[in-house]
Amino acid sequence: MLRFSNVSQSYGSKEILHDISFEVEPGKMYTLIGPNGSGKTTLLSLAAGLLPPQVGEVIIGDHSMTTDPIEAKRLTALIPDQPNIWPGMTGFEFLHFVGTLYGMTPRERDTKIQELLPLFTLDGTEHEQFDTFSRGNKQKFSVMAALLHSPKLILIDEPIVGLDPISIEILLTRLRDFCNEGGTVFMVSHTMDVSERISDTIGLLHSGTLAHQGTLDELRKIVGDDSASLTQIYTHLLSI
């Protein structure tokens, strides 16, 4: 569903990503971890089409983000780490705006919005100004916007920032259900316990290269500890 093929990216003379190649299969959740500055957000931005790849290709489904970006983006949704929305919009207007961008009819938008509002028990808040929402409620509306057009691939930058514990559980369950229904998730995170709990595959990005990837059990075998936590694996692999 998502494939990076020999992707390299630089900012000026500084190479951020070097010859990255891997893929995420449909129905799977792939989490990318790594130190600050390792290139995680850049890779996510490439998958979202926010940056064009300087070298290599990003493929969404059967569509190249370079030669067929509109069709590639139709399949995706992005949950950013900062839910910055145009000021003056209500939550309801924001959801309708996003649905319109993805070509949903008014009836389709209304039906899906009414289906999603109970997800985080936000019924009744949708007509309030977005500017008045808490950080957590803004994040919840960003999640609903991502689910609105029934994407095939959800891209997430730090999914649980600002969410209360109950909302975190709701989100993680919904993401797991999304994958079980055939959807694909590509997530960037520093939250090791969440990544360990819900990921099918975990990749470790270090200094712009994909140093390791695999299931939790496969990564445990690399460090020689069948009970190691992801935090312990991460610390061990970065110290080598």
User: 167 and 120 in contact (C-beta within 8 Å)?
Assistant: yes
pLDDT at 130 (0 to 100): 85
- What pLDDT shows up at residue 240? 65
Residue pLDDT, tens place only, 183-195: 999 999 989 999 9
Instruction: Locate 176 and state its tokens.
Output: 């797991």
Residue 226: pLDDT over 70: yes
DSSP bridge partners of 203? 32, 213
Distance CA 156, CA 214 (A): 19
Residues 6+ apart with CB under 8 A from 219: 202, 204, 212, 228, 230, 233, 237
Arithmetic mean of pLDDT, 18-44:
96
Domains and CATH numbers, the chain: 2-75+152-239 (3.40.50.300), 86-150 (no CATH)
pLDDT digits (tens, 9 = 90+) for 107-125: 999 999 999 999 998 888 8
Rounded CA separation 8/170 (Å): 36
Mean pLDDT of the chain: 94
Pairing of strands 14-24, 63-64: unpaired
What's the rounded Cα separation, in Å, for the pair 11 and 42?
A: 10
Task: Read off the pTM.
Answer: 0.94
In this structure, which amino acid lies at residue 68? D
